[in-house]
Amino acid sequence: MQVKLIAYTRGVEGQTPLDIVEKCACVCYNSTPTDSYKVAKGCAKSGHMSVYEHVSFTFMIEGVSRALLAQLTRHRHASYSVQSQRYCDMSNCEFVTPNGWRDTDCTEALEDIRDAYITLLNRGVLKEDARMVLPNATPTNLAFTVNARALVEISGQRLCNRAQKEIRELFQGIKEEVKQVCPEIAALMLPQCEQHDVPFCAESNCCGKHKRLTELVK
């Protein structure tokens, strides 16, 4: 898996993404932007995250599974440009497999599927039809553009310990990329249980890192 930030929102005078958020947030209160981002940070703390929609980030993501893609595209407030299996030949792809597959015969099954795909192509079947045999383990590349508010909200779900390892690692990589250009927004990218002053778990099956809300209320 490779994750690379290729574009993000900056002001015409070279302002950072949080400079833009600060200016937009100040419109709400007739206030003057501060160098410490007091207004932007105050909005985040109070849950007034709409002001973070004014900045966005574009990532180039390579070598993730189609299973991950299916999870990622459930998040609506983002834009996706995905490698097409209709036009791209997947004969030489390297399947994405989880660690739990080690020392099993499942990788051999994937090779059989690859052979079936190649056989279909050799028989003149169009790529758009031959792709029907390909599994969720098939790799893909995509461009992913998302505003900062959505990025924080998605991170809350996908950085959770109960998220699948592949997509959790993707968002850890995305967070590291954002950290290079706007550490303040990266700091907001936390598991949902830690996006509160008092951490608590809202999952039905808790990982145990933090107490459930019902326990705290007691």
Q: Is residue 56 within 8 Å of 145, Cβ to Cβ?
A: yes
Strands 78-82 and 56-65 turn out to be unpaired
pTM value surpassing 0.85: yes
Residue 114 annotated in active site: no
Q: Could you give the C-alpha distances from 10 to 13, 16, 17, 161, in angstroms and in order?
A: 8, 5, 6, 32
Biggest CA-to-CA distance, the chain: 68
Which residues does 88 contact at the CB level (< 8 Å), separation at least 6?
127
Catalytically annotated residue among 158, 162, 168, 212: 158
Q: What is the pLDDT of residue 103?
A: 67
Dihedral pair phi/psi, residue 76, rounded to 5°: -75, -35
Q: How many CB atoms lie within 10 A of CB 40?
A: 26
Per-residue pLDDT of the chain (218 residues; tens, 9 = 90+): 999 999 999 988 889 999 999 999 999 999 999 999 999 999 999 999 999 999 999 999 999 999 999 999 999 899 999 999 999 999 999 999 988 777 677 888 899 999 999 999 999 999 999 999 999 999 999 999 999 999 999 999 999 988 999 999 999 999 999 999 999 999 999 998 878 777 777 777 787 777 777 777 76
Instruction: Note the pLDDT of residue 196.
Output: 77
d(CA 55, CA 19): 10
Can you give the pLDDT at residue 208? 75
H/E run at residue 143: strand 139-147
Encoding tokens for residue 216? 């705290």
What pLDDT is attached to residue 116? 97
The pLDDT value recorded for residue 218 is 66
